[in-house]
Amino acid sequence: MSLAKKNLTLDQLKSGIITGDRLILSQAITLCESQLPEDQRSATQLIDSILNYTGTSLRIGVTGIPGVGKSTFIEAFGLFLISKGHKIAVLTIDPTSTLNQGSILGDKTRMNELSQNRNAYIRPSPTSGHLGGISEKTRENMLLCEAAGFDIILIETVGVGQSEVAVKDLSDFLLLLMISGAGDELQGIKRGLMELADMILVNKSDGENIEESLRTKIVFEQALHYFPQNINHWKVPVETISSRQPTNLDRVWNYIDEYITLTKTNDYFYTNRKHQNLQWFREGLSNQLLQYVFQNPKLSNKKKEIEQAIQEGKKSVKSGLEALLKQVFDQ
C-alpha cells in the first residue's frame, strides 16, 4: 500500500492512529509491512512522528509449542482483561511458507469472539522468513497499536526455534504455556527456556486432565528451585489454567500486576525497556547491512564468488568474510 493509493498524508495517518481509527491503524501497519522503498521511507517518518504516544502500554509475550493452546488462552485472557476495563491489541505471528512465501493468517478465526469485541484489535502478520518466529515488523506494529490507545499488547509467537528469545526481547512479561502428558515436562526443564519465562502456565487443566496438570505443575516448581535468583528479584510462579472453562485467569493477572509493581520499584522494568531499544537498533542495523549487500549488484556478485570459493574449499569462512567486508567499506 502506498500513501498515494489511499490519498492519505502522513499527518492524516498520524491523526487517525492517535484518535483510535482502526481502519487507518490497519492501513498504517500495512504501510510498515510493505517492502516498497517509498513506503519504507514513509513508514520510518510515521513511526518517528508517533513515538511520543508510545511506551505506556504493557507488553505481554505468549509463547509455547504448537498445539499448547496459545490462541485459545489469548482469547480467554483478552476477554478477561477487557472486562477489567482494558483495551487489548493482539499481534499474532503466522509462519510463512518457505516454498511460496504464503501464510495462513487464521488467528481471527481462532479468536472469533475476541475479534468482534470493540475493545480488541487483532493483527496477524506473517514471519516472512524472519528468524525466531517474530515478524520483522512486529515492533513497529506494536508501537502503532500503543499510539492508537491500546494499553495492553499481547504478542503470540509461532512457538518454534528462537521465538522464545525473540519475544522476550519484545515484551515486559513473558508467559510460557505448557501442557501435561505430552513430554512438555522435559521440555520445560531445559535451562534456557525456563530462564526466559516470567510465569509458567500449565494449560488445558480441565476434565480428566486436572490431576495430571497438577503433577506437572509440581515438576516445574521443583525444577525452578535449582535456578539462581533472577536479576529482577522475581520468583517465577507456576499456575494451572483452563482456557476453555476458563479458570485462574484472575491469578495470572494478579501475578503480572505484582511483577510490574516489583520491577518498576527496583527500576528493572525501565532498564529492560532501554536494553530492548538498543537490541532493536542493533538487529535492525544488521538487517540493513545485509540488505545493502544483497541489493548492491557489485557486492552481490562478490558475495556469490566468495560463497562458491568457500563451497569448493578454496577459501575459509573467515577470509571470505574479511574479503566481503573489505569490498563493502571500499564502496
Tens digit of pLDDT for each residue in 273-303? 999 999 888 888 887 888 888 888 888 899 9
pTM for the whole thing?
Answer: 0.86
pLDDT of residue 192: 67
Split at pLDDT 50, 70, 90, the class of 136 is low
Q: What span, in angstroms and rounded, lies between the C-alpha atoms of 331 and 320? A: 17
Tell me 300's DSSP state: H
pLDDT of residue 66: 80
Mean pLDDT across 173-196? 72
Domain 55-265 has CATH 3.30.830.10: no
Q: What is the pLDDT of residues 96-108, one digit of tens each?
A: 433 334 344 445 5
Mean pLDDT across 166-181? 88
Split at pLDDT 50, 70, 90, the class of 307 is very high
Q: 252 or 1: whose pLDDT is higher?
A: 252
Residue 27 corresponds to which cell in the numbers above?
A: 492501513
**For residue 66, how many C-alpha atoms fall within 13 Å in the half-sphere facing its CB?**
7
Range with lowest mean pLDDT among 82-96, 121-135, 166-180: 121-135
Split at pLDDT 50, 70, 90, the class of 133 is very low
Ordered by start, the domain boundaries in the chain are 1-53, 55-265, 277-329
Contact 68, 177 (CB under 8 A): yes
What fold does the segment set 277-329 form as a domain?
Answer: Helix Hairpins (1.10.287)
Architecture of the domain whose range is 1-53: Up-down Bundle (1.20)
Mean pLDDT across 86-90? 97
Q: 21 or 4: whose pLDDT is higher?
A: 21
Name the nearest CA neighbour of 93 among 130, 125, 50: 125
Contact 159, 70 (CB under 8 A): yes
Has residue 9 got a pLDDT over 80?
A: yes
Mean pLDDT across 149-178? 84
pLDDT of residue 254: 97
Q: 1 or 27: whose pLDDT is higher?
A: 27
Split at pLDDT 50, 70, 90, the class of 128 is low
Mean pLDDT across 196-221? 91
Contact 199, 252 (CB under 8 A): yes
Split at pLDDT 50, 70, 90, the class of 111 is confident
Residue 292 corresponds to which cell in the numbers above?
A: 545493502
Residues in the chain: 331
Q: What is the pLDDT of residues 221-271, one digit of tens each?
A: 988 888 888 889 999 999 999 988 888 999 999 999 999 999 999 999 999
Q: What span, in angstroms and rounded, lies between the C-alpha atoms of 147 and 20? A: 8
Is there a cis peptide before residue 124, judged by omega within 30 degrees of 0?
Answer: no
pLDDT of residue 152: 98
Contact 166, 276 (CB under 8 A): no
Give per-residue burial for 122-147: e unless 16+ CB within 10 Å, then b: bbbbbbbebebbbbbbbbbbbbbbbb
Q: What span, in angstroms and rounded, lies between the C-alpha atoms of 287 and 304? A: 19
Which span out of 103-112, 132-141, 180-189 was modeled with the highest average pLDDT? 132-141
Split at pLDDT 50, 70, 90, the class of 48 is very high
Mean pLDDT across 5-9? 71
pLDDT of residue 162: 58
Name the nearest CA neighbour of 104 among 89, 119, 133, 124: 124
